[in-house]
Amino acid sequence: MYEKGFITFSVDPDDGRVRYATLTPAGRAKHDEIKAVALERQRVLLSCLSDAEAQTFMGLLLRVHGNLPNVEKATQAYIKEKGPKAITST
């Protein structure tokens, strides 16, 4: 993104270890372009659902997404208990 001129970097004046990425005007334009495509794809995807169904579906997706940290914890616990070979295919 930096090479394409979409972001710039700056260093925190109080902590030189911290770098900030900031969208450039070109980066903002690209963001807006991508967002427009994403919203149109979402509109078409959900067009087979009623408004109520779409709201329910999106709410469920958000709940599932919010649960991903628990999935990761469970996965790590499973691997710790069973060993790495428990997840490799044979």
Of the pLDDT bands very low, low, confident and very high (cuts 50, 70, 90), residue 89 is low
3-state secondary structure of 11: strand
Task: Answer whether CATH 1.10.10.10 is correct for domain 7-87.
Answer: yes
Question: pLDDT for 38-62, tens place per residue?
Answer: 999 999 999 999 999 999 999 999 9
Query: Does position 90 have pLDDT exceeding 60, yes or no?
Result: no
Task: Supply 78's token pair.
Answer: 């499973």
- Cα 5 to chain centroid distance, Å, stands at 22
- What is the value of pTM for the model shown? 0.60
Of the pLDDT bands very low, low, confident and very high (cuts 50, 70, 90), residue 83 is confident
Residue 74 is inside which H or E element, if any?
A: helix 68-82
Question: pLDDT for 8-44, tens place per residue?
Answer: 999 999 998 999 999 999 999 999 999 999 999 999 9
Q: Please report how the helices 51-66 and 68-82 are oriented relative to each other, as an axis angle in degrees rounded to 10.
A: 40
